[in-house]
Structures are given as structure tokens and as C-alpha cells.
Amino acid sequence: MAMMGLGVFCLILSFIFEPSQIAAGGFHARFWSNFLHNAVFFTGMAFMITFVIAAFTTAYAGWYVVFKRIWEGFSLFLLPGLIMMLLIGVAVYVHFNHLYHWADTEAVATDEVLKGKSGFLNRNWYLFGTLIIVGGWLFFAKKFRALSIAEDEHGDHATNFKYHREIRKYAAIFLPIAAFTGPAMIWQWVMSVDAHWYSTLFAWYSMASWWLAACALTIMLIIYLKSKGYMEFITKEHLHDLGKFMFAFSIFWTYCWFSQYMLIWYTNNGEETIYYHTRKTEYPVLFFGNLVINFILPFLILMRNTTKRRFGTLFFSAALVFFGHWFDYFYMIKPGVLINAEEAMAHGTETGHDAAGHAVEHTASFVDGFTIPGLIELGVFLGFLAFFIYFVFNQLSKAALVPKNDPYLEESLHHEVQPYE
Amino acid sequence: MKGQHKEVLFGLYNDEEVLMSAIKKAKKQHLDIMDVYSPFPIHGMDNVLELEESRLHIVGFLFGMTGMFTALIGMSWIFGGSLMFDGDWPTIFGGKPYWSLPAFIPIVFEMTVLFTAIGMVVVFYIICGLGFGVNNPILDDRITDDKFCIAFQTNGMGDADLDKLNGFFKATGAEEVHTKAI
């Protein structure tokens, strides 16, 4: 609770302490970008876990059943996530903030590129699209949870696995829906911060980031719960497999990151390259730090078999990966928001793209809370994290820790990946 | 050991459960099992036989590093501009610098994978004695089909020891017991 208090306190602080360079604009860009960053990060984790539950169920996976209840808790976080994203949506709608350049109707009117995109990037779709799509995700998350609880109460063997079949049906429906709507939400929430720029790989890359963060948090929560004496039926075999997921998807994430980077670097198409040029020259800590935390360190630490089977090293690397992907979202959102804020400030005095050009030059100086995560950003992060964990544990306390009638429970209890140490 | 025959006493079992309990009993009696043969991998067998973790992945890592450096150094040698190379045949592609790392990474990646894969296969074959021209005697054709086998090496064993092994096979429910020199 104290941590949640810290989070709220830091959010308020970020509202007050706008960096001096853009304070004159009065956009409260630091507050809104922090809020957007964390809301997107944690909502996305909830979404990815819902997706993964659906994927595992469809794929007849059994090993994950022992910690399925933790993931159900994760997936239900879509409800607070929906509320937070709607708050941002409403704020965008009534121009409370200036996160998105495309929300500025005057600028769009003189901008051919944004005019062409306005069918997707407009305030109505941002608000109502979010409502419909995240609402849809929440419907499926709640359905999976309700059926899983019903399975506990009424028994599955007696009903010939009726509830499990039902979950499988909903999971199969959810998969294609999630595959199309997930990227749409990412384009809208995150990629459209840089409204002129686009990348077809962006959704892959950021969804991998969400899933890695969720996987790392799962590992940390399991180790924490085990240290408190709960869930002793989750063994290091399960954690080993989760560690493998973390290892493999760290490589997948890097693959997506690099593919996106290399294609843009090689093509050297001005309007695309400027995105990376800005980040590499003005945010080197974010740009290279991102790769070090999210690829080089997990790759080297998790490569050894034994590091995935010892709680200490696994917890350390999970914490690293979790923070790393929060950092990754920071990198995706903050520079773009800063550029937008500066563009909007310059808008009054200069016109069109001259202003944009000047704004980009201005960012060369250090801007509190944008160039690298400051203490306030870390406080907001911890606050959101505490809220997320509180929410998950609250959900966990509402049902049995073991889905006792799940048809795959036995398989999961005897899960074994490596017989020797 | 080269050129020397191995005298092998082996028992055939019909069921992997029986085989597993037999191995456990052999371990308890401190019998020195030469090898166990099965037509398919049996879950938990490594544990019972007290096998060590394979070190093949270390070989894989070393081959991967070799592949990575081969590709990096090879391209640096051709293009020059870095890693102390002058450039054997510098060529400009797409207006990029001679030595442009992002363009090299896919090739470095592919070479790493190629070296790792081929290297590990070759080493695996050598460890298992499956190279070209190697003749591997098989104790009994049926161990590749439906029989499970425990084999003991009996070179220079006295009658008392042989009786003990025969007794062991009988006690653990072996269907057949044979001897063979390989």
C-alpha cells in the first residue's frame, strides 16, 4: 500500500515538476507520458497473458496449470487497464494533453501525411476503439476465469471436461481476435506518438516486450510466493521452463528490434531514418542501454542451464528483464512525446515543418524525465507495479491456488525437464 | 581396448517398468552395468543410471563463437575499415561505409548457426561412435524393436561373479539371458 501511495505521490509530483524546456506549453507532458507509459505497459502485460492462456489452452499445454491462477489474476488486470486507457482516451478527446500530434486538428489540416492517416488516427477511434477492443479482451479474460472457477466447483471429470472444452472454444475464438486487435491497439497507443513514422514490425516487437515483462514478473511472483510457503507444488522444473521462455523470447525480441532497425538503416528513407537518428544521437542511454539490458545480459546470464534452475540467478535476471522492458517502453514513448510537446510549443511562432525541424534540434539538451528515467518515473513505476501485484494477489486470494479439477493438473504436477542437476 | 573382444552377458526384458526396477536393484547391489539398451527413451532413466549432464552444449557454444568470429573477421578482412584490417577488396554497397556492422549481423548470425549445427552433429556422431566406416556390433536385433536390455561386461570374471549376474537376471524377471563376444 505504501508503494501505491508512493506511485500516486510521484504522479502528482510529475504533474507539478514539468521540465523547464517545455513547461511554457502547459501540456503536463511529463505527467501524461508517465501515465500513458505505465498504463500501456501493465495493460499490455494483462493482454499478453490472456493471449498466452488462450494459446496454451489451444495447444493442449499442460505444464503451466499449477500457476494458471496467477496468470488469471494477471489477465483480470485488464479491468483497471481499461479504466486507465479510457482516462487517457477521454483526455485526448477533450485535448487535456498533447501526447499525440495527430490529435491536434489544426496541424492535421495542413499535413498531407496525417490527413491520410486520419481514418485511423482520430480522437473518436482512439477513445471508442479502446473501449470496444479492451472491453472485448476483458470479456474473454473474465470468461476464462469464470469457467476455470466453475471447473473447480462442479468438477470436470464428472461432466466429461465440459468446462475445459468451453475454455478451449473461447480460447480458439480469442486467438485471431487478439492477433488483429493487439497490434491495432499498439499502433494507436504507442506507435502513433510519432505520428509521421510507422513500422510494420513495431507490433511484434512491442508485444514480445509485453510478454517478456509478464513472464519475468510471473517468475518473480512465484519465487516470492514460494519463499512465503505458498505454492510449494510449483517446482524448479516449472521455473526452468519459464526461464527458457524468458531466454528464448529475449532473443526473439532482439530479432524483431534488429529487423526493424536494420531495414530502416539500410533503406535510409528520410522520414523513417529520422526516428532512429534522433534516438541514437540524442538518447544514447536509452538506445544502447535497451539492447544491453534486454539482450546481452539476459542472453549471457540465462544461457547456462544452471542459472535457470537456481532461484537467485533466475530472480535476478527476471528483475533485470522486467525493468528492461519497462525501459523499452520508456524508449518507445518518451522521446516522441517530447518532440510533440516541442513541436506544439513552436507551433505558435513558426509554421509547419520548420517548427518540427527546430524542435528536433532543441531536444539535444537534457530534459528531466525524458532523456533517461528520473526518480519520479521510477516512483510512478513502483506505484503501478505495487498496484498490479496487489490486484493479482487479491484475485489469487479469491480462489483456490490449484485449479483442482483441471484435466492437465496431474501432468503439470509431474512436470520434469531435467532429471540431473 | 582396441582389438580386444568384450565378453558381454546381457538380459532381455519385455517391459520398461521391469527394466527400471531391475536397474534400481542392480545399483543397490553395486553391479557394474556396462550399458542399457532400449528402443525408445525412457522417462527417468538418466536419474536411475546416475548419468551426468551432457557436455555437448559447451561444444555448441564454442563452435558458435568460432562461426561468429569467422564471419566477422572474414568480412572485416574483405571490407576493411575496422578490426585492424586494411580491406582486401573494399566495395561500397548502398552508399554505406565499408565496414557497416548492421549489414554484417545477419551473416554473422547465419555463420554462427551453421557452425554450431554442423559442429554439434559431427561431435555428437564422434561421441556416439557413429562415424563413417565404423562397425557397431549389436547385441540383439530386437533391442531396436521391442526388447529392453541390460548388459554387463564379463571379461576375466570368475564363476562366482557370473553366477551372481545370472542370479540377478533371474531374480529381476529377465525373459532371456545370452552371452556374446563383441
Residue A266 and residue B43: Cβ atoms within 8 Å? no
Per-residue pLDDT at A106: 78
Using a cut of 0.80, tell me whether the model's pTM lies above it.
yes
Rounded to a whole number of angstroms, the distance from the CA of A296 to the nearest CA of chain B is 15
Which residues from A are below 8 Å from B52, CB to CB? 420
Lowest mean pLDDT among A151-160, A362-371, B61-70: A362-371
Tell me what the mean pLDDT of segment A364-377 comes to: 77
CB-based contacts of B80: which residues, under 8 Å, 6+ apart? B86, B87, B88, B90, B98, B99
A282 confidence band (pLDDT: 50, 70, 90):
confident
C-alpha cell belonging to residue A121? 488516427
Do residue B53 and residue A265 have CB atoms under 8 angstroms apart? no
Among A246-255, B158-167, B170-179, the range with the most confident prediction by mean pLDDT is A246-255
* pLDDT per residue as tens digits for the range B86-102: 888 888 888 888 888 88
Most trustworthy range by pLDDT among B26-30, B59-63, B150-154: B59-63
Contact B106 A262 (CB under 8 A): yes
Distances (CA, A) of B99 to A269, B127, B162: 20, 40, 70
When pLDDT is cut at 50, 70 and 90, the band that residue A315 belongs to is very high
- Domain ranges for chain B: 7-39+146-181, 56-127
pLDDT at B39 exceeding the cut of 60: yes
Q: Is A265 on the interface with B (CB under 8 A)?
A: yes
Average pLDDT, chain B: 86
Residue B149 has pLDDT above 80, yes or no: yes
Question: Tens digit of pLDDT for each residue in A103-142?
Answer: 887 778 888 888 888 888 888 889 999 999 999 999 999 9
Interface contact A420-B46, CB threshold 8 A: yes
User: A22 or B75: which carries more pLDDT confidence?
Assistant: B75
Please report residues of A whose CB lies closer than 8 A to that of B46.
419-420
Burial zone of A23 (CB within 10 Å; 0-12 exposed, 13-18 middle, 19+ buried) = middle
Contact A134, A69 (CB under 8 A): no
Per-residue confidence (pLDDT) for residue A24, from 0 to 100 = 63
Sheet hosting strand B7-13, strand order edge to edge: B33-37, B148-153, B7-13, B176-181
Q: Smallest CA–CA separation between A160 and chain B, in Å?
A: 29
Q: Give the pLDDT score at A256.
A: 94
Q: What is the spatial distance between Cα A171 and Cα A203, in angstroms, rounded to a whole number?
A: 21
Residue B174 has pLDDT above 80, yes or no: yes
d(CA B85, CA B88): 8
Alpha-carbon span A155 to A149, nearest angstrom: 10
Which residues have CB under 8 Å from A328's CB, separation 6+? A206, A209, A290, A294
Q: Partners of A394 in the beta sheet?
A: none
- Residue A266 to residue B96, Cβ atoms within 8 A: yes
Q: Where are the domains of chain A?
A: 2-401
Q: What pLDDT shows up at residue B131?
A: 76
The per-residue pLDDT for B6 is: 81
State residue A350's pLDDT score. Answer: 44
Q: Does residue B83 register a pLDDT over 80?
A: no
Inform me whether the C-beta atom of residue B96 falls under 8 Å from chain A C-beta atoms: yes
The shortest CB-CB distance from A262 to any of B46, B47, B105 is to B105
* Chain-chain contact of A262 with B102 (C-beta, under 8 angstroms): yes
pLDDT of A349 above 70: no
* pLDDT tens, position by position, A21-67: 666 666 788 888 889 999 999 999 999 999 999 999 999 998 999 99
Which of B45, B53, B101 is the best substitution to test chain A (most A C-beta atoms within 10 A)?
B53
Cross-chain Cβ contact A266/B51 below 8 Å = no
Q: Which residue of A has its CA nearest to B53?
A: A420
* Domain at B7-39+146-181: CATH code: 3.30.70.120
How far is A420 from chain B, CA to nearest CA, in Å?
6
* Whether B95 and A268 lie within 8 Å, measured CB to CB: yes
B101-127 vs B56-79: helix crossing angle, rounded to 10:
140
